[in-house]
Amino acid sequence: MVNVAITVSLAVVSLCTLFCCGSCNGSRNKRILMSDPDYVQQQMTHLQSELQTLQATVQLQNGKISSLEQQLSQANQNRGGVTFVRWGRTDCPANLTELVYSGYTGGSWWDHPGAAADYVCLPRDSVWGPYKDLPNDDYSGRMYGTEYESDNPASPFGLKSQNEEAPCAVCRSTSFVSSVMIPARTECYSGWMKAYSGSLASGYYNHKAASQYVCVDEHAQPLDGGADSNDDGKLLFAVKAKCGSLRCPPYEEDKYLSCVVCMK
């Protein structure tokens, strides 16, 4: 718009020069004869043509600006973000993220040697595919729910959480583009924003099935209606530090490890 304004201003200056003190046919000293109707008409026609050209230029520039504004708006709507799972909760950190969905923490059976290692967040509103009702056979993986496990009534997962089923929430933020789970800390490093903190969890060290480390929220919840029955499935145990190849200090023998999820 600045270039268009400059162009229009120059046209106005040219118009003023033409009728006030301008030159004709290259002569610096010859004045325009205002009484010559043919000459005046010729110049008016010329100026009208230039004005139309300027108007077309302005419309073109306005169209380009409008297109750029639309592209910018679309880019803001479609900009990237970061997602992470908040284990042990059905909600996401307030003011930082939005809830994609909440559901049930799932995984493989704790004692199966061929178990999948990872924990997954299963949605509450499953949508079955076309192969749901195929005849059953034994050549398949298995998906189970997940329970908190602890011999201590005051476990890191909450009072009397033993055998309670664990929820989960998938969270997204459009203000950040990276996330990381840091074990053994409750605070993020400089330049990172804390999403949530809690207790480091995994499967039991002496079970057959592999597992992974996840961060269970410090205010972990049980699933509603989970009852107190011991259904097993995928299990969550708090993780303790073991000295030796792990440096002590700073770590301490048999102390429960914390964790934090950070965004940037």
Q: Where is pLDDT greater, at 41 or 80? A: 41
Is residue 238 within 8 Å of residue 180, measured between CB atoms?
A: no
Tally Cβ neighbours within 10 Å of residue 40.
Answer: 14
pLDDT given at position 31: 54
Mean pLDDT of 157-175: 89
CA proximity to 223, closest of 211, 214, 231 = 231
Number of residues in the chain: 264
Average pLDDT over residues 82-99: 93
Higher pLDDT, 67 or 134: 134
Best mean pLDDT range from 136-140, 142-146, 230-234: 142-146
Say whether pLDDT at 72 is over 80: no
The answer to whether 110 and 235 are in contact (CB under 8 A) is: yes
Give 159-164 contacts, CB < 8 A, sequence gap 24+.
161/220, 161/222, 163/228, 163/229, 163/230, 163/231, 164/222, 164/223, 164/226, 164/228
Residue 79's pLDDT band (cuts 50, 70, 90): low
pLDDT at 2 over 60: no
Average pLDDT over residues 210-234: 87
Confidence of residue 139 (pLDDT cuts 50, 70, 90): confident
214 has pLDDT over 80: yes
Asked whether residue 10 carries a pLDDT value surpassing 80, the answer given is no
User: pLDDT (tens digit, 9 = 90+) per residue, 34-59?
Assistant: 566 777 777 788 888 888 888 878 88
